[in-house]
Amino acid sequence: KQEVTQIPAALSVPEGENLVLNCSFTDSAIYNLQWFRQDPGKGLTSLLLIQSSQREQTSGRLNASLDKSSGRSTLYIAASQPGDSATYLCAVFYGQNFVFGPGTRLSVLP
């Protein structure tokens, strides 16, 4: 069964810290992995997409890595800001369907 897990479930950090969110998947036959951000009461916004042949992708202060063989991806957020507070979800694409993790709820304290 294709399952995606995320740790930690919740994280609270002071402003300015660098932090890492983790995503694990059981089936390594992936096409790509996407990281999403969800603000309370809103839809999901795509942050980064890593194709199966890639090792990492960067966008501003965000860096996502992918290790297919170990079934892991990390989202690194540099110099966190209160505006980064949201829930972050990873989703694995298996060719037709996307399987989502439960998300990590991040709070960045001013």
What is the rounded distance in angstroms from the CA atom of residue 38 to the CA atom of residue 90? 11
Per CB under 8 A, which of residues 63..102 are in contact with other proteins? Answer: 89, 91, 93, 95-102
What is the rounded distance in angstroms from the CA atom of residue 95 to the CA atom of residue 93? 6
Query: Per rule CB under 8 A, is residue 16 in the interface with other proteins?
Result: no
Q: Shortest distance, CB of residue 66 to other proteins, whole angstroms?
A: 11
What is the rounded distance in angstroms from the CA atom of residue 48 to the CA atom of residue 63? 8
Contacts to other proteins by CB under 8 A: 31-32, 34, 36, 41-46, 49, 51-53, 89, 91, 93, 95-103
